[in-house]
A and B are shown apart, each in its own frame.
Chain A
Amino acid sequence: MSEPTPQKPEDQKPEAAALTESAENSETNQDTARWTNAFREIASGNALLSLLAIVLAILIGGVLIALTDSDVQDAAGYFFARPGDLFAAIGSAVGGAYLALFQGSVYDFRRDDFLSAIKPLTQTLVFATPLIAAGLGVAIAFRVGLFNIGGRGQIIVGAAFAGYASFAWDLPIVLHVIVAVTMGIIGGALWGAIAGLLKARTGAHEVIVTIMLNYVAYYLISFLLRTDLLKNPGSNNPKTPPAADNAILPPLFGDGFKLHWGFILVIGATVLAWWLIERSSLGFKFRAVGLNPHAARVAGIKVERLYIYVMLIAGGYAGLAASTEVLGTTTSGFTSGVDAGIGFDAITVALLGRSTPWGTFAAGILFGAFKAGGFTMQASQSIPIDIVLVVQSLIVLFIAAPPLVRAVFRLPQPGARAKKVVG
């Protein structure tokens, strides 16, 4: 299987092409040329394509909502009698859905005061926190050419470590939460390192190993939740005891809001990831291996060792996601479903963010908004939250295939270069 390289060489060239082209133009039509070039630059750039991919996915989501809405179906039954009714029904179904999505994720203007109106935005950030952390884990592994599908397992093991430290140990304030978060990171890192170690030592493909480790982690924690190690002694349910007060990440804006210090940790983690990839010498080696492992080996980089390092780091980021979940968002104890789909969502987050730290950060917030809004949409418009999965996966599919989006919106295809698109 090929190594996934999330960078698209094709999309970075237009700038240079545009510059040479504008230099060749005569002065008279320079203005038009500049405008055309500027348009071409935007039209073939990453940002616009990402935006268009999102728009396209939301449109298709709207079509799905309209098709399955019962009012729309009723109105379609007498379409020729009163065609206006159909369009009104479509408008109210799709509009209502996306309005609920917005109200649930950004700003609820039905509220009286600003503080409660802006609450959905903080809720978005709560959902975004673990998505960003786990997404960074996937993104960093991507840069080395590894596809880390093991976010789920790493989160589960990280949660087990962080959770155990949070209720079994008795430590002073401040220190306890630091230790618990660190334990989560260590747990995730160890679980991630298994895949890295096997890849380095035996060449086992990390995709298969991480998928399998997800299940192993799931059954492992299911077993541990039946033993006294993780189970709340006072109950028969396979659920951990609540975290000790000292181990809880404190809320950022008081008790009225669920947003907690985990979000600040994740901002720090994003800065660290940026520094690691873009500025550190380890990151330089990471990128070198990701672009061409053979060349990197020839240049004296110990590729195998880097596989282990990067999976340690990637697992650590997933572990951080687990820590923010069990120490910040749901502190009342967790079950074997602690991952709640974050591990797989992290892949789409990293792909949407094109494996750059700040891109992943933005993508995490977008998907956090989808999640927060999705629950509101389900509650108020009774539209199943699964539509969010559809829209998310469509976004990633479209972003992975720029020629398709260009074709849909009739944008110019960049040049006659070889159309090799990876990732």
Chain B
Amino acid sequence: MTFTKISEGMSRSGSTIDRRSWKMPIAFAIVSLISGVLFIGFAEDAPTGFNLSTGTDLFQLPVIQLPALATGVVVTILMALIAVGSAFMISQDRKVPVWVPALGAVFALTGFLTWAAADETLRVPELFAGALVLAVPLIFGALGGVISERVGVVNIAIEAQLLAGAFVSAVVGTITASPMMGLLSAAVAGMLVSFLLSVFAIKYLVNQIIVGVVINVLVSGLTGFLYSQWLVESPEQLNNPEGFSAISIPFLSGIPLIGPVLFQQTLIVYLLYIIVAVVAFAMYRTRWGLRLRAVGEHPKAADTVGINVTRTRFWNVALAGAIAGLGGAFITLSQTGQFGKDVTAGAGFIALAAVIFGRWDPIKATLAALLFGFASNLQNALSVVGSPVPSEFMLMLPYVVTIIAVAGLVGKSRPPAASGTPYIKG
């Protein structure tokens, strides 16, 4: 039983006010209204193709052709049904199952893609694979953020950890000519940034948000300085790391749609799957996870039962930095191929958004990061086929979604109770 569950249980039993939330039916009513206007009113009467297979698949799926107008009508009606259905269920005091909004999201996405890419053919596996590649650094960063905040230290410095990892992996990866060393050194670099955060936040009790913001500036300045001083001078010797090559997992990589997306990736991505699974399991099922959450929720209670709060925080923040650093390595070793000034381009802040949107849970934060990665890649894919939505609005989407999430319109997000508060023993 976790502290979160106890406090939730208490607040539930302690109040008798009407807790029915009408947010979901209202949201779906609005979405189906918008889709009615856009997907029906402004539809081109041309079919949209969805190419589900790539050449390496074990068997080929046919290209699905959806007529834009008819799909718009069907999708709008289905979402209106979801709105009415969920409203009915809520009025009957029944809980709406999770698959209902998930199904609604799939309908909305299908409707949107069909409308936006009318008269073109979308390569679906590449769409998702690209989304995953964009999401990988976000997921690493978000996991680092989740661990750090769950142990009670606000981690605004994710951006700095990614950037440090990106820089060091480029330099070390080039000098040693081994991507593996680059990856390891990136973890160490992220950990060093974490040490800095810990020293100021835990030892000197400086406000954690301030330290985080300042560390971001510091690392940006430091890597930018060293980049201009060293890497620009001799790019071949210092900034030419060898990347990981993609490894196809036999059989699994041949499954249509899933295979090319998930199982034709580089080593870092497979490492990511393992880390996500381990962190998600360990956070709720092991002694490490229990202690971590106890320190983040109620450090005094944790201290009373003999957990060393300062040490737990220090080493878990270090672990968080190491994981975030791996994300930085992915940026230089797999995405860009070399380090550039501020190469992370705000990925750390999107990762922070994923932490909050994912309500400080490893799996949910990963899904949030995937969603953000998908939104960015959608913009790329649609700009190729020529989309009616200005690309800026697609790029804006993750941030708007986060604001809505934080403002509690989607659901209440509650940070770990002691996150951001220094613990002074005594």
Minimal beta-carbon separation of B292 from chain A (angstroms):
18
A40-48, A111-119, A242-250, A395-403: which lies at the interface: A395-403
B349 in complex: contacting residue of A211, A216, A383, CB < 8 Å: A211
Q: Which one of A2, A149, A222 has the greatest number of beta carbons of chain B within 10 Å?
A: A2
- Residues A209 and B396 in contact, CB atoms below 8 Å apart: no
Contact B220 A389, beta carbon cutoff 8 Å: yes
Q: Among B406, B408, B409, find the residue whose CB has the most chain A CB atoms closer than 10 A.
A: B406
B138 in the interface, Cβ–Cβ < 8 Å? Answer: no
Find the A residue at minimum CB distance from B355: A208
The residue that A400 contacts in the complex, of B211, B353, B392, B419, with Cβ under 8 A, is B211
A212 & B353 in contact (Cβ 8 Å cutoff): yes
| Segment at the interface with A among B21-29, B38-46, B201-209 | B201-209
B406 near A205 with CB under 8 A, answer yes
Residues of chain B within 8 A (CB-CB) of A208 are 352-353, 356, 402-403, 406
How far is B224's CA from A156's CA once the two chains are assembled, in angstroms? 24
| A220/B226 in contact, CB under 8 A | no
Interchain CB contact under 8 A, A2 and B420: yes
Give Cα distance in the complex from A48 to B349, angstroms.
35
A1 — nearest CB in chain B belongs to which residue? B420
Q: Is A409 an interface residue (CB 8 A)?
A: no
Interface residues on chain B, number (Cβ under 8 Å): 52
Q: Is the CB of A393 within 8 A of B408?
A: no
- On chain B, the residues within 8 Å of A207 by CB distance are 156, 209
Secondary structure at chain B's binding surface: helix, strand, loop or mixed?
helix
Given known A2-B420, A68-B229, A400-B206, contact A223–B402 (CB-CB < 8 A): no
B248 at the interface (CB under 8 A from A): no
Indicate if the CB atoms of A389 and B390 lie closer than 8 Å: no
- Pair A203/B408 contact, Cβ less than 8 Å: yes
Q: Closest residue of chain B to A222, judged by CB?
A: B392
B421: chain A residues within 8 A (beta carbon): 2
Report whether A215 and B393 are in contact in the complex, using a CB–CB cutoff of 8 Å.
Answer: no
- Judge whether B207 and A204 touch: CB under 8 Å: no
Q: Distance (Å) between the CB of B320 and the closest chain A CB?
A: 16
Query: For chain B residues 371-404, which have a beta carbon within 8 Å of chain A?
Result: 390, 392-393, 395-396, 399-400, 402-403
Q: With A4-B210, A384-B228, A421-B206 given, is the CB distance from A204 to B407 under 8 Å? A: yes
Whole-angstrom distance between the Cβ of A106 and the nearest chain B Cβ: 22
Complex CA gap A163/B44 in Å reads: 38
Whether A215 contacts B208 in the complex (CB less than 8 A), given A204-B407, A397-B200, A420-B424, comes out as no
Please state if A4 and B406 are interface contacts (CB–CB under 8 Å).
no
How far is the CB of A158 from the nearest CB of chain B, in Å?
19
Cα-based distance from A390 to B224 in the complex (angstroms): 10
B11 CB to nearest A CB, Å: 15
Q: Across the interface, which residues of B come within 8 angstroms of A419, CB to CB?
A: 205
Is B222 engaged at the interface, CB distance under 8 Å to the other chain? yes
Q: Are A396 and B214 in contact (CB under 8 A)?
A: yes
For the complex formed, measure the closest distance between the CB of A172 and the CB atoms of chain B, giving whole angstroms.
Answer: 36
Distance between Cα atoms of A351 and B415 in the complex (Å): 25
Task: Determine if B407 and A348 form an interchain contact, defined as CB atoms under 8 angstroms apart.
Answer: no
B225 x A223 contact (CB < 8 A): no
> Is there a chain A Cβ closer than 8 Å to B215's Cβ?
yes
Contacts of A351 in B (CB 8 A): 210, 214
Which A-chain residue is minimally distant from B154 (CB atoms)?
A1
Chain A residues whose C-beta falls within 8 Å of the C-beta of B230 in the assembled complex: 68
Contacts A211-B349, A419-B205 given; indicate if A390 touches B200 (C-beta within 8 A).
no
Given A351-B210, A418-B424, A423-B207, also A209-B407 (CB < 8 A): yes
Q: Contacts A2-B420, A204-B408, A207-B156 given: A223-B403 contact, CB under 8 Å?
A: no
Report how far A198 CA is from B405 CA in the complex, Å: 11
A201 to B, closest residue via Cβ: B407
**Docked complex Cα distance between A403 and B205 (Å):** 10
Q: Any chain B CB within 8 A of the CB of A229? A: no
Is the CB–CB distance between B214 and A1 below 8 Å?
Answer: no
* Chain A residues within an 8 Å CB radius of B209: 1, 4, 147, 207
Cβ–Cβ < 8 Å partners of A223 in chain B: 390, 392-393
What residue of chain A has the Cβ atom nearest to residue B353's Cβ? A212
Is the Cβ of A215 less than 8 Å from the Cβ of B221? no
Given A1-B420, A207-B156, A208-B353: A421 touches B204 (CB 8 Å cut-off): yes
- B residues less than 8 Å from A389 (CB atoms): 217-218, 220-222, 224-225
CA distance A201 to B406 in the complex (A): 12
- Residues 1-20 of chain A, each 1 if its beta carbon lies under 8 Å from chain B, else 0: 11010000000000000000
Q: Which of A200-257 contact B (CB under 8 A)?
A: 201-205, 207-209, 211-213, 215-216, 219-220, 222-223, 226
B213 contacts partner chain A, Cβ-Cβ < 8 Å: yes
Q: How far is the CA of A384 from the CA of B224 in the complex (A)?
A: 8
Closest chain A CB from B389 CB (angstroms): 11
A61 to chain B, nearest CB (A): 9
Q: Which residue of A lies closest to B205 (CB)?
A: A421
Asked if A216 and B399 sit within 8 Å, CB to CB, the answer is: yes
Which of B221, B229, B352, B353 contacts A393, CB < 8 Å? B221
**A393 x B396 contact (CB < 8 A):** no
Partner of B217, one of A4, A204, A222, A348: A348
**What chain B residues lie within 8 Å of A64 (beta carbons)?**
222, 225
Q: In the complex, are the beta carbons of B390 and A226 less than 8 A apart?
A: yes
Judge if B346 is at the interface, Cβ distance under 8 Å: yes
A400 touches B210 (CB 8 A): yes
The 8 A CB mask of B44-76 against A (1 = contact, 0 = none) is 000000000000000000000000000000000
Are B200 and A344 touching (Cβ within 8 A)? no
B213-A220 in contact (CB<8A): no
List of A residues within 8 angstroms of B409 by Cβ: 202
Q: A400-B200, A404-B204 are in contact. Are A393 and B218 (CB under 8 A)?
A: yes
B390 touches A397 (CB 8 A): no
Contact A420 B220, beta carbon cutoff 8 Å: no
B224, A347: Cβ atoms closer than 8 Å:
no
* Given A204-B406, A212-B402, CB of A348 within 8 Å of CB of B224: no
On whether the beta carbons of B217 and A149 are closer than 8 Å, the reply is no
**6 A–B contacts, CB within 8 A, in A order:** A205-B406, A213-B403, A219-B396, A351-B210, A420-B422, A420-B424
Residue numbers of B with Cβ under 8 A of A are 154, 156, 200, 204-211, 213-215, 217-218, 220-222, 224-230, 233, 341, 346, 349, 352-353, 356, 390, 392-393, 395-396, 399-400, 402-403, 406-409, 415, 419-422, 424
Residues of A at under 8 Å CB distance from B?
A: 1-2, 4, 64, 68, 70, 147, 149, 198, 201-205, 207-209, 211-213, 215-216, 219-220, 222-223, 226, 344, 347-348, 351, 383-384, 386-390, 392-394, 396-397, 400-401, 403-404, 418-423
Extra pairs beyond A201-B407, A219-B399, A389-B224 (13, CB < 8 Å): A204-B408, A211-B349, A212-B403, A213-B403, A220-B396, A226-B390, A351-B214, A386-B224, A393-B217, A418-B424, A420-B424, A422-B207, A423-B206
